[in-house]
Amino acid sequence: MASSVGNEEEKNGTAEPVLRVRGLTTHFELSSHTVRAVDGIDLDVARGQTVCLVGESGSGKSATGLSILRLVPSPGRIVSGEISLNGVNLLDLDAKEMERVRGPEVTMVFQHPRAALDPYFRIGDQVTETAAIQMGLSRRQAHETAREHLAAVHVSQIDRITRAYPHQLSGGECQRVMIAMALLCRPKLLIADEPTSALDAKVQSDLLDVLREVTEEYEMAVILITHDIGVVERMADRVAVMYAGRIVEEGAARDVLSSPQHPYTLGLMNSVPKVGQRSRRLQQLDGQPPDPAAMPPGCRFAPRCAERVPHCSEVEPELRPVAPGRFARCHLRGDAPMAAEERAVPG
């Protein structure tokens, strides 16, 4: 068993990462223009750690997850970067080698579980076949393993579920089945893309409990993609906030949520209600994200930012340290030149 110090290092991202992403760039080449969906991001995820990717729709979160699995749909393609899983660059693998990685090493739970299941086969047959193929088990062994994993994610009435077709199950039941299938080979990395989207509050809460329980038991590295700050508060060890294809803030979840540094993160936090703060007035995050085919010059958030200065619209900021283990892509934060000038101006 790992020491508490070692576990804390992994939670804080100081341990050797299971996943190491550097300069990941994914474009969609359309006939008239290029969409820069993911634009040079870096990301580390350690064993036993949950990193939440947060941002509005179109920020590049799902494209990042699909890029890691090398499942970017056409006409998308990974243009450059490195995706290292346990020291192996996945971009160096051929198609057959990558197929052997998906499942045993890295897997994904998708946003719409019913659409990810085959409508023509019973649930039990689908889970059993997946276990047989991925784990090399006999039909009998695969059947037993399938039931064990369904029980592990607290599927009730297993006999009914295994005999059912996807359309006969609720969204929450389908998602539990998908989580069970994802865990069959105990992968090193689990990517969950909006796994509780469109579910009611009770089902969402139960599923998050299941997800945390099984990932802690298997000590997996987890990337949880979400736009829900409530999910982040409940699940994240670290947070990476994405905007217009780039990470604009990154750090320990407790620090980012209690003291957001990037104006975009602050806007997200101020636009959602918080338990126990009924009197707090919500603030709308004005404007829309930029067109990924025509990014504005300078800071991509500048057109929506209440703090912007002329320099923001001219020069794109780098992702810089703002505190130990904290980073923000802003000219007015941390050790950025504009931040230093701002501090030097007499009050």
Q: What are the two backbone dihedrals, phi and then psi, of residue 132, each rounded to the nearest 5 degrees?
A: -65, -45
Q: Is 125 exposed, middle or buried (0-12, 13-18, 19+ CB in 10 A)?
A: middle
Given this model, what pLDDT does residue 347 score?
A: 42
Q: Which of 247, 202, 205, 288 is nearest to 52 (CA)?
A: 247
Residue 296 CA to residue 308 CA, distance in Å, equals 14
Superfamily of domain 1-105+189-198+219-274+282-347: P-loop containing nucleotide triphosphate hydrolases (3.40.50.300)
Q: What is the pLDDT of residue 343?
A: 46
pLDDT at residue number 27: 95
pLDDT range class, residue 32, cuts 50, 70, 90: confident
Residue 66: the pLDDT is: 96
Encoded tokens for 108 = 């994904």
Q: Is 324 exposed, middle or buried (0-12, 13-18, 19+ CB in 10 A)?
A: exposed
The helix (run of H) or strand (run of E) holding residue 29 is strand 17-29
Higher confidence at residue 271 or residue 107?
107
Please compute Rg for the chain using Cα positions: 21
More confident residue, 160 or 281: 160
Using the predicted structure, report yes or no on whether residue 88 has a pLDDT greater than 90.
yes
13 pLDDT above the threshold of 60 = no
- 3-18 average pLDDT score: 58
- What is d(CA 331, CA 339) in angstroms, rounded to the nearest whole number? 6
Name the average pLDDT for the chain: 88
pLDDT (mean) for 173-200: 90
Q: Are 189 and 85 in contact (CB under 8 A)?
A: yes
* The pLDDT value given to residue 33: 87
Q: What is the mean pLDDT of residues 323-329?
A: 94
For residues 8 and 282, what is the distance between their CA atoms, to the nearest angstrom? 34
Q: Where are the domains of the chain?
A: 1-105+189-198+219-274+282-347, 112-186
> CA torsion angle for 277, 283, 288, 292 (degrees, to 10)?
-50
Q: How far is CA 162 from the centre of its chain?
A: 29
* Contact between residue 236 and residue 52 where contact means Cβ atoms under 8 Å apart: yes
Answer yes or no: are the C-beta atoms of 42 and 21 closer than 8 Å: yes
Burial of residue 312 (CB within 10 Å: 0-12, 13-18, 19+) is: buried
Give per-residue pLDDT as tens, 214-224.
Answer: 888 889 999 99
Q: Which of 112-116, 125-129, 168-172, 198-202 has the lowest mean pLDDT?
A: 198-202
Residue 1 has pLDDT above 60, yes or no: no
Q: Which 8-state DSSP code applies to residue 113?
A: H
pLDDT for residue 221: 96
Q: Is 35 within 8 Å of 205 (Cβ atoms)?
A: no
- Output 275 or 137, whichever has higher pLDDT: 137
Please give the share of the chain, as a percent, with pLDDT higher than 90.
Answer: 69
pLDDT of residue 42: 97
Q: pLDDT value at position 4?
A: 39
> pLDDT tens digits, residue range 118-147?
999 999 999 999 999 888 899 999 999 999
Q: pTM of whole model > 0.75?
A: yes
List the structure tokens of 134.
């991925």
- Nearest Cα residue to 50 out of 269, 183, 232: 232
Q: Tokens 């829900």 map to which residue?
A: 228
The pLDDT of residue 340 is above 90: no
CB 57 within 8 A of CB 111: no
Q: So what's the pLDDT on residue 278?
A: 60
263 prior amide bond cis, ω within 30: no
* Whole-number percent of the chain with pLDDT over 70: 89
Distances (CA, A) of 258 to 229, 251, 252, 311: 12, 11, 10, 28
- What's the whole-number mean pLDDT along residues 278-288? 71
> How confident is the model over 48-86, as pLDDT tens digits?
999 999 999 889 999 999 999 999 999 999 999 999 999
> Which residues are CB-contacts of 336 (< 8 A; sequence separation ≥ 6)?
317, 318, 320, 330
Q: Is 41 helix (H, G, I), strand (E, B) or coil?
A: strand
Model pLDDT, residue 276:
55
